Every structure is written in structure tokens, then in C-alpha cells.
Amino acid sequence: MLEVTGLGVSYGSTRAVDDFSFTVGSGEAVALLGANGAGKTSTLRAVSRLVRGEGRIVFDGDDVTGTRPEELSRMGLVHVPEGRRVFATLTVNDNLLVGQTAGGRRKRFFGLDAIYDLFPALVPLRKRYGWSLSGGEQQMVAIGRALMAAPKLIMLDEPSLGLAPIVVKAVYQALSQIKSELAVLLVEQNAAVALSLCDKGHVLLSGREALSGTAAQLGDREALIDSYLGHGVDSEDAQDGEAIRSH
């Protein structure tokens, strides 16, 4: 479904991602793991063409290296960014309906009723405005809105960030149902929760792949992964305005 070859991202003189290659198969869930500033978010932004990157990107058999972000969404590659970005002045229901605009005539596995089934906590909040939602509720809306766009592949950036454990559990229970219908590319710092969902993973360190394998293989090397997560660079991706420091 997705093949990325030789991906590179630079912000001025800062090299955020360097020669990173990976694939996401149809119906497969893949995790990108690493500390803040490791290049995970920059990878997603480059794939969805929100930032300029080097290398080649093939999506669903088409070379989309030079494709614009909005066109990629219409092709079925849908990005849920970190920070949720729910429309503050729209209700929950209207936020979800906005997602339909990118879906076109593609088969939609998750319609409005299915979104509420996935996230029952949203049912009593249908008429609640986005600005009044908690972080967990906003995350559910952001994922639901993306699913309304009928994605072939959904990219999620830190869906568990800042959420209480009980909310993380609810979000990942929904993601386990989502992955049965479409491909998933997931950025996470929480390796354990990511590998409980994903089929395989890649660990990034200072923009380069440090480790990769199946979820079982990476689970057996949890201590090693923790060393990368605990001793990576200290800042967020340079796109967020912070410098990336190497070891």
C-alpha cells in the first residue's frame, strides 16, 4: 500500500530524517518508534507532503512523490496529526461530517454510525462544540473524522500523547478494529502499546533507522528499545520550531 525509499527531510542545516526506507502492506499496521526529535513526525509529514522531502513515495501503486497533500487525501492517504486539530466552533457531529469531503466515491468502511460504535463516549457529545472537548474526546473525533474520509491508509501521529491510561485503552481498542479494514502507519513513543497493535515496527534514532522487526521480535528486545526511547534527542522535530540535538 505504501513504499517509501530513501526518505530525507532537512530543516535548514538540521537533518531530521536521513535515508529512511520502509513499507506498509495492505491491511498491515506499522509502528514508527523513537524519542522526541527522532524524526517520526517529520517522516509522516514528508509522506503526506506537508514538508518537502527527498526520496520516492509510492502509494497504492502510484508514484506520489510530487503530489499535493489535498490530492493525497482524495487518493485515500489520510493523516491524523499530533495535536488533533479539531474544529473548535463545530460540533462533534459536524467535525465528523467534514471528513466526508475527501472520501469521494471510495468504499467507506466506517460511516457516521460506525464511528459512534467505535467511540461510544462520543454519542452523548454529538452536539458539543470542539472547543469544549477533553483531549481524549478530541482524539476520538480526529480519528473518526479521518475514517469518514474513507482512507486506504491512515497515518496517526502520537494518538496516546497526553491521554489518561483508560482513554489510551479505548483509543487502541478502536484502532484494533480499524486495522482489520485498512492499513495503518502509527507514530508512538509508547512502544508497548504500539507493538500490541502493530504487525511490525521501525525504531528511529536521530533521523535514521536504528532497529526494525516484527512486533514479536521488537517485543523481545524491549530493553533495547527503551534505551533508544530514553536516551534519544531531547527535542521535538525541528518543524515544530525546536532544534534537534544528536547524541
For range 6-22, the mean pLDDT:
94
Grid coordinates standing for 175? Answer: 484502532
For residue 59, give the nearest of 230, 185, 180, 224 by alpha carbon.
185
DSSP 8-state secondary structure symbol assigned to residue 129: B
Q: Which amino acid is at 42?
A: S
Confidence of residue 104 (pLDDT cuts 50, 70, 90): low
Question: Is the pLDDT reported for residue 100 higher than 90?
Answer: no
| pLDDT at 240 (0 to 100) | 37
Q: Kindly write down the DSSP assignment for every residue of 30-75, as one continuous string.
A: EEEE-STTSSHHHHHHHHTTSS--EEEEEETTEE-TT--HHHHHHH
61 φψ region: left (φ > 0), alpha (ψ -120 to 50), beta (else) = left
Grid coordinates standing for 205? Answer: 534514532
Question: What is the rounded distance in angstroms from the CA atom of residue 174 to the CA atom of residue 119?
Answer: 7
Sheet order of strands, 54-59 included:
14-24, 2-11, 54-59, 62-63
Question: What is the rounded distance in angstroms from the CA atom of residue 200 to the CA atom of residue 213?
Answer: 6
For range 34-52, the mean pLDDT:
92
The pTM of the full predicted model, rounded to 2 decimals, is 0.84
